[in-house]
Chain A
Amino acid sequence: MSDTPTALRGQDTTGGGRQSAAASAARRDARLRWLPLLPALVYVALVTQVPFLLTIYYSLFNWNLLRPGKPQFAGVENYATVVTDPSIRTALLNTVVLTVLAVGISVFLGVAIALLLNKEIFGKGILRTLMIGPFLVMPVAAALIWKDTLLNPIFGLVGYLLSPFGLGRVDWVSQYPMATIITIEVWRWTPFMMLIALAGLQSQNLEVLEAAGVDGANALQRLRYITLPFIRPFVELGALLGSLFVVQTFDSIFMTTQGGPGEATTNLPFLLYLVAFQGFDIGKASAIGVVAVLITMIVATLALRTLFTIFQVEARR
């Protein structure tokens, strides 16, 4: 396509004609290449971008579906409410605490268990199958099982098992609500982290490890200086994807604590649910939405940058 057009054009007009025909064919081809992409692109743009623009628009109005009357333009009033509202600060803090702790602990446990399952042990396949169970169970179902059959102070199994230690009557869900939510999320996301770390471990070159062993590196040194650096990008990928999902935690909170007691476990998604679907405050819910997007964009930009280094996205053809 790039065979020196200027030289050709100077000498031969027919050659130049062929050249521009080829160029326009290439342009046509370049445009045609977009065709298979368009339906998906238009769909995603329509269902995500247009509503987001509407969210920004609605956030400038004083509009509650429960109150009669038309929406009234309110400028940045909703944002003023959002910024000064202490329950939003609480929700933001709860979101950070939940995300950091749940992801942090699941990454730690996930890597540890992956290292364990990568050893020579009996029944690896079955162990992995058992381990991914928590990730596959419907989150709403899992939350119910945890709350009612395991953590209930009277009928729960945990209370029964701990009663010899004097912890029998602890009402975990209402006394330690955040710890309960974090426990359920850790239980759910550890298998996810484990799967990714295990995939990393299994792609490791064993000869390097053996060579290090021959050179006198002990097991701990091999882990610290060879294995962990090797699986680091995998773990980072898991942590990033996990964070983006855990930030949106809603199911387990809805099913166990309903955001309470008080606001103890109200995170941003749950607050949004309360404002939008209990209060039907369209303007305020939209403002929260815009703020949430801004926060997510900051986190996601960092996340995506890492993702792209991992994927090494390059045009192959």
Chain B
Amino acid sequence: MSRPVALTRPRLNGAKVAWSVVAWIIALVFFFPVLWMIVEALKTEPQAASIPPTILFVPTLAEFQEVLSRDFPPFFINSAIATIGSTLLVVLLGLPAAYALAIRPVAKARDVLFFFISTRFLPFAASLVPLYLLARDFQLLDNVFALILIYTTINLPLGVWLLRSFLLELPNELFEAARVDGAGFWTELTSIVLPLITPGLAATSLICLIFSWNEFFYAVNFTSSVAATSPIFLVGFISGRGLFYAKLAAAATLASLPVLAAGWIAQKQLIRGLTMGAVK
């Protein structure tokens, strides 16, 4: 009845190797399109569209240079402005709000929290038409500022939730001690919260970065040339049948790079951010 546990031991290494092989095959299948994007970007145009595919080749950065030296940089810069601008706004508005939901909570903290998160999942259909008309009337169409405002709206609910979950982790005693010394909101925020919340700010910024940088729907409908962001640049390749594959791949790689790098570096914060602080 009591099966000897030791029996499984000798098979362990065999099993480990077998499972490792399975896991690596699956992971490589999933990663392949990402890898292929980067590989294609390092080829010349004829190599990139050749059949059978070119496997052995001398990598070249020519297509990256081509993309970077011509029309891509303005799109990239617009993406950066929209992303950084909205992330700053999210932190600026979100941190005090999170404070009022976690440290010195308002009476209806739960309802407010519910309200915030419900707006995140409102379909964009809910406000699209009025926002478009407003942007048109205020001369904000094809203006990065409109994107900053919209991305702030998209990310603020998540930002508040996330920051709140980090604030809840700060030990109560810190604030009690500060209150005995008569510390108010600003003192608490600047001398206790800010120094301790750095990981939380990083996680929040990362999530804002991912969603704003990759955002497409508003970007494609609210901008045309002046304020167009990186994904709009990629729309230019939409009908390329065998032409410009290397250039397409180089542009796609460059456009994806910031989020890929940030997400890979901050994997822990990524999980926490994606689940709004529920999963650590």
Contacts and interface: CB of A to CB of B under 8 A. Distances in A.
B241 A137 contact: no
Interface SS majority for chain A: helix
Given A144-B238, A157-B53, A296-B122, A273 B221 contact: yes
Contacts of A251: 216-217, 231
Interface SS majority for chain B: helix
Interface of B: 1-3, 5, 12, 16-17, 19-20, 22-24, 26-28, 30-31, 33-34, 36-37, 40, 48-49, 51-53, 93-94, 96-97, 99-107, 109-110, 112-119, 121-134, 149-150, 152-153, 156-157, 160, 168, 172, 185, 210, 213-214, 216-217, 220-221, 230-231, 234-235, 237-238, 240-242, 245, 248-249, 251-253, 255-256, 259-260, 263-264, 267, 270-271, 274-276, 278-280
Interface string A118-133: 0111110001111111
Contacts, number: 326
A155 B49 contact: yes
Contacts of B221: 273, 276-277
A133 B129 contact: no
Given A121-B19, A138-B230, A315-B110, A148 B240 contact: yes
A43 B93 contact: yes
B97 A37 contact: yes
28 contacts: A33-B100, A34-B106, A40-B93, A41-B115, A55-B127, A113-B26, A132-B263, A132-B264, A135-B263, A136-B259, A137-B37, A137-B252, A141-B251, A145-B40, A148-B241, A149-B248, A155-B51, A157-B36, A190-B30, A195-B274, A234-B279, A237-B278, A241-B276, A286-B129, A293-B123, A307-B117, A314-B110, A317-B103
A20 to B, nearest CB: 20
Interface string A39-62: 111011001111110110010000
Contacts of B103: 317
Nearest to B132: A276
Contacts of B3: 216
A262 B216 CA distance: 23
B33 to A, nearest CB: 6
A146 interface: yes
A150 B172 contact: no
Nearest to B264: A129
Contacts of B1: 216
B260 A133 contact: yes
B243 to A, nearest CB: 9
A317 B172 CA distance: 8
Interface of A: 30, 32-37, 39-41, 43-44, 47-52, 54-55, 58, 113, 116-117, 119-123, 127-142, 144-146, 148-150, 152, 154-155, 157, 160, 187, 190-192, 195-196, 199-200, 203, 213-214, 216, 234, 237-238, 241, 244, 247-248, 250-251, 254-255, 268-269, 272-273, 276-277, 282, 285-286, 288-290, 292-293, 296, 300, 303-304, 307-308, 310-311, 313-317
Given A196-B279, A288-B125, 6 more contacts: A35-B100, A47-B131, A137-B260, A145-B40, A154-B242, A251-B216
Which 10 residue pairs spanning A and B have beta carbons closest together? Answer: A36-B96, A51-B127, A141-B252, A40-B97, A54-B130, A289-B125, A51-B130, A37-B100, A140-B231, A292-B125
Nearest to B26: A113
B123 A292 contact: yes
B252 A145 contact: yes
A203 B101 CA distance: 27
A120 B22 CA distance: 12
A292 B217 CA distance: 16
Given A30-B107, A141-B231, A121 B16 contact: yes
A316 B168 contact: yes
A23 to B, nearest CB: 15
B156 to A, nearest CB: 6
A23 B213 CA distance: 49
B242 A36 contact: no
Contacts of B12: 120
B231 A138 contact: yes
B271 to A, nearest CB: 5
A195 B116 CA distance: 25
B217 A37 contact: no
Given A145-B37, A191-B30, A138 B259 contact: yes
B51 A316 contact: no
Given A241-B275, A310-B278, A315-B110, A133 B126 contact: no
Contacts of B129: 54-55, 58, 276, 282, 285-286, 289
Given A137-B256, A144-B234, A154-B242, A130 B123 contact: no
A149 B49 CA distance: 8
